[in-house]
Amino acid sequence: MARRIALFLLVLVLGILLGRLSLPASSGEGSASSQALRTATRSSQSDQAIPPNRGGNTGPMGVRLQVQLAEARAGTLTASRQLAGTVTPYLQVNVPAQVGGVVARVLKAPGDRVAQGEAVVQLDPTNLEISLRNARAALKAAEINLAAQTRATQEARDRLKAQVVQAEAAYQAAQKAYESARRVHALGGLSDAELAQAQANLAQAQANLEAQRAALAQNERAGEETLAALRVAVEQAQNQVAQAEVNLQNATLRAPFAGEILSIAAVIGGYLAPGATAFTLVQGRRVQFSVPPEEAAHLPVGTPVSFNFAGRSYPARVDQNPGGTVSGTVPLTARLEASSQEILPPGAAGTVTYTVSLAQGVLVPVTALQSDGAELFVYAVEKGVARRKGVHLLAQAQDLVAVAGLAPGTQVVVNPPPGLLDGTPVGGQGTQKGPGTQRGPGGRQGRQGR
Question: Strand 65-71 vs strand 426-432: parallel, antiparallel, or unpaired?
Answer: parallel
Query: Mean pLDDT over all residues of the chain?
Result: 82
More confident residue, 408 or 60: 408
Q: Which of 359, 378, 357, 356 is nearest to 367 (CA)?
A: 378
Dihedrals phi, psi of 308, to nearest 5 degrees: -105, 120
pLDDT value for 272 = 95
Q: How confident is the model at residue 382 (pLDDT cuts 50, 70, 90)?
A: very high
What digits encode the pLDDT tens for the residues 259-295?
Answer: 999 999 999 999 999 999 999 999 989 999 999 998 8
Q: What is the Cα–Cα distance from 139 to 148, expressed in whole angstroms?
A: 14
Decide if pLDDT at 94 tops 70.
yes
Question: Strand 392-397 vs strand 400-404: parallel, antiparallel, or unpaired?
Answer: antiparallel
Decide if pLDDT at 203 tops 80.
yes
What digits encode the pLDDT tens for the residues 324-333?
Answer: 888 899 999 9
> What's the pTM?
0.54
pLDDT value for 262 = 93
pLDDT value for 155 = 83
Question: Is residue 113 classed as helix, strand or coil in its secondary structure?
Answer: strand
pLDDT value for 121 = 97
More confident residue, 45 or 223: 223
Decide if pLDDT at 341 tops 50.
yes
Q: How confident is the model at residue 430 (pLDDT cuts 50, 70, 90)?
A: low
- Say which amino acid occupies 435: P
Q: What is the Cα–Cα distance from 109 to 118, expressed in whole angstroms?
A: 13
Q: How confident is the model at residue 192 (pLDDT cuts 50, 70, 90)?
A: confident
pLDDT value for 167 = 87
How many residues appear in the chain?
Answer: 450
Which positions ≥6 away from 212 have C-beta within 8 Å? 160, 163, 164, 166, 167
pLDDT value for 24 = 36
Query: Is-contact 253 97, C-beta < 8 A?
Result: yes
Question: Is residue 99 classed as helix, strand or coil in its secondary structure?
Answer: coil
